[in-house]
Amino acid sequence: MKSGLPGKTGVLLVNLGTPDSPSVPHVRKYLREFLLDKRVIDIPAVNRYLLVNGIIAPFRAPKSAKIYKELWTDRGSPLLYHGLDLQKLVQERLGKNYHVALGMRYQSPSIESALQELQDKVVDRIIVLPLFPQYASATTGSVQEKVMEVVGTWEVIPDIKFISTFCNHPGFINTFAEIAQTHMAKRDYDHFVFSYHGVPERQILKASTKGYCQLGACCNTYHSRNRYCYRAQCFETSRQLAKALNIPEGKYTVAFQSRLGKDPWLQPYTDNILKELAANGVKSVLAFSPAFVADCLETTIEVGEEFKEEFEKAGGEHWQLVESCNTHPTWVNTVVQLVQEAE
């Protein structure tokens, strides 16, 4: 990719985004921007506007704001401050021939401002790393579309490389494995749950190349035909994590969380699985949330607190969340490596 001429490489790290504060108006503004994205709620535009403005924004925003208040810290939202910390550490590691910027797909700092920062630094090429290990149209696809929309307005469009998936990158797997080992060293676990953010099944079928994915055993192996299938990537991440941690098949379950609305989302649902596990006598669970590389509402609150409470209510005794990659040194090394591999 390099021309042989000296010049800076721009690195754009992008995560989903979070409200500016846990207040109801800020959460409502965030949910509106997020859920009006046609890649996130992929229904006809008029229905999406009615659903988001008529139901989700008025009714969900106050409930979500309450949960965001629980999550909020002195440094603000974890998704944002972990992103800023990661940006700083990766910048230090890559040095002066690189400029590393952080953008959020929704809210701030925006992708527009992050790309402007790179343009101001006169970068020759840009490497975009959406911070989602598994490609989904709603996340990585949406980031790619937004970046192309913004740079499409520039007079000079530099070389751009997108890192679309890193679901089985050894550095990503090792980061989670190392964090999990700190918990596994302290006690034995009866069972392991890999809980991924869900998506509507319809989105998996739409993203499938030539009808390859049937939401069945087709996702049990990972190869060029299903490289971008979110379900196949979640299974691949789980297999690699199980391998790295010597977890035998039968001792782990892949499940999906955070569904919204009445349409079928990817199954099994984590909240059902944890009840089944408790009913089958499983007492202790180590729970991973490997669709995220930074802790956020979905990991800390949903997996770490809500699922724990439900598991214990159902008869389980010990539920432990594996914290996300955040600024773990192996993860910082991995991001540096992903950038270098993309050049």
Ligand X SMILES: C=CC1=C(C)c2cc3[nH]c(cc4nc(cc5[nH]c(cc1n2)c(C)c5CCC(=O)O)C(CCC(=O)O)=C4C)c(C)c3C=C
Binding residues for Fe(2+), by number, are: 197, 298
Handedness of CA 134, 196, 54, 26 (dihedral sign): negative
Candidates 52, 297, 322, 325: give the one binding ligand X (CB under 6 A): 297
Q: Does 41 bind ligand X (CB under 6 A)?
A: yes
Q: Is 143 in the site for Fe ion (CB under 5 A)?
A: no
User: What whole-number distance in Å separates Cα of residue 77 and Cα of residue 92?
Assistant: 23
Closest distance of CB 138 from ligand X, Å: 4
Read off φ and ψ for residue 161, nearest 5 degrees.
-125, 130
Q: Measuring CA to CA, how many Å separate 318 from each of 255, 286, 295? A: 18, 8, 20
Q: Which of 83, 111, 135, 139 binds ligand X (CB under 6 A)?
A: 139
HEC string of 206-251 equals: HHCHHHCCCCCHHHHCCCHHHCCCHHHHHHHHHHHHHHHCCCCCCC
Residue 167, interface with Fe ion (CB under 5 A)? no
Please work out, in degrees rounded to the nearest 5, the angle formed at the alpha carbon of residue 14 by the alpha carbons of 156 and 11.
50
Look up residue 39 and give its DSSP letter: T
18 binds ligand X (CB under 6 A): yes
Residue 219 binding Fe ion, by CB under 5 A: yes
Pattern 245-284, ligand X, x by CB under 6 A: -------------x-x------------------------
User: Contact between 335 and ligand X (CB under 6 A)?
Assistant: no
Tell me which amino acid residue 87 is. Answer: Q
138 part of the interface to Fe ion, by CB under 5 A = no
Nearest residue to 324 via CA among 184, 214, 172: 172
Site string for ligand X, 188-227 (x = CB under 6 A): ---------x-x---x------------------------
**Which residues make up the interface to ligand X (CB under 6 A)?**
16, 18, 31, 40-41, 60, 64, 77, 79, 132, 136, 138-139, 197, 199, 203, 258, 260, 291-292, 296-298
